[in-house]
Amino acid sequence: MTIARQGNGDAPDQKEQFQALLVRCRADVEAGPPEAAVTTRGRRHAGLSQERAASMLGVSVRSYGDFERGLTRAEPDFLERVASVLHMSAHERHAMFLLATGQEPPQPFSNQLASVPAYQLALDSSVLPGYLSNRCWDIELTNQAFRDVWAGRERPTNVLRYILLTETARDTVLLDWPEGWALPFLRQQRAALAASPWERGLVELQREVEDAAYRDPVLRELMERSLDDEYIHPNGETRLINHHKWGPTQITLLMTRPLDAASGHRFVWMVPPKPVDQMP
């Protein structure tokens, strides 16, 4: 977080509006483990405490308190993180940017797809299995070729949850599961969480994986091994998959960069070793 002490030229009422907006948004965050707002004095109240918000943002409680009172100026990327942690609506995020910087937000804030028909058409126009996922690995759109891979079998709705936590996937679909799928995706999840520690979906996924590893010695051993190295997914890596029609097949995974910073939506394509019309 890069912040600077603001000068005295800001109108007091603007700081008060800024503080009131953030306090209200914190209070509106649903309380409950692990977000239950417990202050340093041990009092529980509705919403998200300053302490918890600071922890989720990776800053000190004092730094966050100064920020909330309008005493510091944050960079746009930190404001985006605040908007995500406080579950701000597009209107609230817009107001926060105007009050904090005097400028419009850099891009529309939405965890929803900006143009579902266009994205779906892009997928449907390809013979390659493809899907569109968000920053938290949720699969939001697919094409028929992707659905054919899992015909008659449980279809993934979240990439990481399917790969790491679905027993039928590791047993029947994802060949070479420990080395080819589990290890690299455990490292990817850790990298994603390190880059976006405020993202609630990633935090919840990590907890699910850790809970499963506590019960599953195979997954626990892989998690320990995954700590030995960092991992950034390079386009063009190959994986083995048991395709419903093609049988055991080596696929190449190709993905786009995030389509927008707010949601992290990206396309992922599964490319077989030969043109689709030449596959069995």
pLDDT of residue 228: 80
pLDDT of residue 262: 66
User: Which residue segments constitute the domains of the chain, with CATH numbers given?
Assistant: 3-101 (1.10.260.40), 116-278 (3.30.450.180)
Q: How far apart are CA 144 and CA 154, in angstroms?
A: 15
3-state secondary structure of 168: helix
* Residue-by-residue pLDDT tens, the chain, 280 positions: 444 444 444 444 788 889 999 999 998 886 444 333 333 344 444 678 899 888 888 889 999 999 999 888 888 888 888 888 888 877 788 888 888 888 877 655 455 666 778 889 999 999 999 999 988 899 989 999 999 998 888 889 999 999 999 988 998 999 999 999 999 999 888 888 877 777 778 888 999 999 999 999 999 999 999 888 766 555 678 999 999 889 999 999 999 887 776 678 899 999 999 999 898 8
pLDDT of residue 42: 42
pLDDT of residue 57: 84
Closest CA to 56 of 16, 87, 101, 95: 87
Identity at 118, one-letter amino acid code: A
- In sequence order, what DSSP letters do the residues of 197-256 get, joined into one string? TT-HHHHHHHHHHHHHHHH-HHHHHHHHHHTTS-----TTEEEEEEETTTEEEEEEEEEP
pLDDT of residue 28: 85
Residues sharing a CB contact under 8 Å with residue 133, sequence separation 6 or more, in sequence order: 139, 140, 159, 265, 266, 268
Query: Does the predicted model carry a pTM greater than 0.85?
Result: no
pLDDT of residue 92: 82
The encoded tokens of residue 92 equal 């609230």
